[in-house]
Amino acid sequence: MSAPLIGYTELALAAVLVLASAILSLLLNLGYARALLVAGARTVIQLLLVGLVLKTVFALSSPWLIGAVMLAMLVAASYEIRARQQRRYAGLWSFGIGAATTMLATLFVTAFALITLRPDPWFSPQVVIPLAGIVLGSVMNGVSISLNAFNTGIVRERAAIEARLALGASRYTALKPMQRSALRSGMIPIINQMSAAGIITLPGMMTGQILAGMAPFEAAKYQILVLFLLAGAAGLGALVATYVAVWRTTDERDRLRLDRLVQPP
Amino acid sequence: MVKYVAGQVARHTPMLETRSLHRLAVGPIDMTLDPGCCMSIVGKSGSGKSILLRMIADLDPHEGGAALDGIACSSMPAPAWRRQVTYVAAESGWWDDRVAAHFPARADLSASFASVGIPAEAVSWPVSQLSTGERQRLALLRALAPANRVLLLDEPTSGLDVASTAMVETLLRERLAQGGAIVLVTHDPAQAARMASRHFELRDGRLEARTP
C-alpha cells in the first residue's frame, strides 16, 4: 500500500475550505479573515520552500548546513514568540528572552532524542531536522503562551502583587501565583495533545506515517516517543522562560518593575 | 517610650529617618519620625504623596536612603524592611479569592475584625463579597503584623463613613500608644488635626511644615 500522491488540484480544493471560512468571517464581521488568509498564504509559501530547501540539505548531508538550517529555524521561532506578546520587554529583551529559552530547550531535547535514537550518522538530516522542527514548535507554543500569560497577568494583577511585596513577601513569593498560572496555560496545548492522542485525534505525525505506509503499531510507538519529547521540551522552555520573566520584571530590591515592559501599541 | 522633643534630635537616633529621597518630581525629602508619633501629609492630587510613601517603603527605584533605628534600608533585604516599614495603598490589592488567605493561618481574627466593625465570619467570605470600605479596613488590619514598626498610610479612610473612620482612628491611636509610628497621607485636614502631632504639605516635590 502506498500513499496517494497529492497534486495541485487537490491542494486547490483544500484551499476552498480556508477561503470559505474567511468569507464567513467577513460576512459575519468576526474579524479573523485577514489573519486567516495571511496564515494560509504563509503555509503554502513556507512549506513549499522548506520542501525545496530540505531536498538540497538531504542531498548534501553536511553538518554545517544542518546547523545553519536549525539556526534559521530558531531565529524564526524567536520572532514568532516576540510577535505573540501583548506586553513586550523593552529593548533587546523582547527578542532575547524567547530566543535564549527556546534555544536552550530545543538543543537539550534534540540532543536527548539523538542520544536515544542513535541515527547513523548522528547528524543525519532526515532525523535531526524534522525532530528539531517538531520540538521547536512545541517549545515555541509553551514559551510564547506562558510568557504572554505571565506578562499580561502581572500588569492586570499589579495591585495584588504590590500589596504582597509591601507586606514583606519576596519577589518569588509574590509572583508565584502568576508564574503557576502562566505555566499551566503554557502546558495546556501539549497536555491536551497527549490526553486526546488516539481517542479524539490521531496525531499529525502518526497520521502521516500511516498514510505513507508504516505499520500502525510502529507509528504509534514513534508518536509516543515524539509526544514525550514535545512535553519535555515545552515544559523545560516554559519553566525557564517564566523564571527569567520573574527575574526580569522585578529587581534585586524585590520591586515590581513594570517599567521594563513596553505599552502595547 | 521616647517622645520627640525639639533640640534632642542630635542626641538620639530617630525611629525612621530619610535622607534626600528623590524620584521623578518628588524630593529631595529629609524627614524623621519618632516612636509613638504620627505625621500627616496633605497635598493636591498628583503632588506625589503616593510616590513619597512608596519611596519610603522602597517599592520604586529612587535616590537617597532611609533608615530604621539607624539601620539603613539598603543594608537589609527589602522584604525585611517592608515588614517593618509597611505601605498600605489607597486601593488595596488581593492575591487570593478568600479573605482568610491574606491573614496568618490559625490567627484569631475576631477581635481585630470587630475593632474595625467587620463581622468575624467575614474571614470565610470571598474577597469579591467585600465592599470597598471593608476591603480598605481589612487591608489595614493585614498590615498590622507584629513585626510592623512604621505604617505608611495612603488615604486609609477615604471610602469610610464617620463611624468606621472613628474606629480606624482609634485602632491607629492604639498602635501609636504601643510605640508604632505612622506617616498619614490624607486629604482631610480635620483627620490630620485629630491624628497627627506634626503636619506637612507636599508642594512642588518638597515637604513643607504646615500649621493645622
Residue B57 located in a structural domain: yes
The partner residue sitting opposite B57, judged by closest CB among A157, A161, A166, is A166
* pLDDT of B140: 96
Q: Which domain holds residue B27?
A: 13-209
Residue B166 located in a structural domain: yes
The CA distance from A65 to A18, in Å, is 35
Q: How confident is the model at residue A7 (pLDDT cuts 50, 70, 90)?
A: confident
* pLDDT of A4: 66
Least confidently predicted of A80-94, B111-125, B154-168 = A80-94
How do residues B119-149 score in pLDDT, each as one tens digit? 999 999 999 999 999 999 999 999 999 999 9
Q: Which of residues 122-151 of B touch A (CB under 8 A)?
A: 139, 142-143, 145, 147
Question: What strands, in cross-sheet order, belong to the sheet with B85-88?
Answer: B85-88, B150-154, B181-185, B38-42, B198-203, B206-209
Contacts of A186 by beta carbon, 8 Å cutoff, 6+ apart:
A141, A142, A143, A145, A146, A147, A149, A234, A238, A242
Residue B117 located in a structural domain: yes
The partner residue sitting opposite B59, judged by closest CB among A166, A170, A177, is A166
CA nearest to A173 within chain B: B79
| Predicted confidence (pLDDT) at residue B70 exceeds the cutoff of 50 | yes
Residues of chain A in contact with residue B139, where contact means CB-CB under 8 angstroms, are 163
The partner residue sitting opposite A162, judged by closest CB among B93, B143, B145, is B93
State the average pLDDT for chain B.
91
Q: How confident is the model at residue A158 (pLDDT cuts 50, 70, 90)?
A: very high
The CA distance from A209 to B148, in Å, is 66
The CA distance from A30 to A24, in Å, is 8
How do residues A146-156 score in pLDDT, each as one tens digit? 999 999 999 99
Burial of B65 (0-12, 13-18, 19+ CB in 10 A): middle
Least confidently predicted of A205-214, A248-257, B200-209 = A205-214
Using omega within 30 degrees of 0 as the cis cutoff, is the peptide bond preceding A189 cis?
no
Q: Helix A125-156 vs helix A93-117: angle between axes, to the nearest 10 degrees?
A: 140
Residue B5 located in a structural domain: no
Query: Closest approach of chain B CAs to the CA of A166, in angstroms?
Result: 6
Instruction: Specify the DSSP class assigned to residue B124.
Output: G
Cell 527575574 sits on residue: A247
Residue B3 located in a structural domain: no
* pLDDT of B151: 97
Residue B41 located in a structural domain: yes
Q: How confident is the model at residue B9 (pLDDT cuts 50, 70, 90)?
A: very low
Any idea what the CATH number is for the domain that residue B37 is in?
3.40.50.300
* pLDDT of A205: 82
The partner residue sitting opposite A164, judged by closest CB among B60, B91, B95, is B95
* pLDDT of B48: 93
Establish, for the pair of chains A and B, how many residue pairs have beta carbons separated by less than 8 Å: 69
- Pairing mode, strands B150-154 and B85-88: parallel
Cβ of A168 and B86 within 8 Å?
Answer: yes
| Predicted confidence (pLDDT) at residue B202 exceeds the cutoff of 90 | yes
Q: How much of chain B, in percent, has pLDDT values that exceed 70? A: 95
Q: Could you tell me the CA-to-CA distances from B182 to A136, B114, B168 in Å, in that order?
A: 55, 22, 13
CB-side exposure of A27: number of CA atoms within 13 Å? 6
Cβ of A168 and B80 within 8 Å?
Answer: yes
State the average pLDDT for chain A.
90
The CA distance from A118 to A135, in Å, is 17
What is the number of domains present in chain B? 1
Is any Cβ of chain A less than 8 angstroms from the Cβ of B25?
A: no
| Predicted confidence (pLDDT) at residue B164 exceeds the cutoff of 60 | yes
CA nearest to B79 within chain A: A168
CA nearest to B94 within chain A: A160
The CA distance from B45 to B33, in Å, is 24
Model ipTM value: 0.91
CA nearest to B74 within chain A: A253
Q: How confident is the model at residue A207 (pLDDT cuts 50, 70, 90)?
A: confident
* pLDDT of A265: 60
Domains in chain A: boundaries: 1-60, 62-262
Cβ of A167 and B83 within 8 Å?
Answer: yes
- Residue A15: which H helix or E strand, with range? helix A8-27
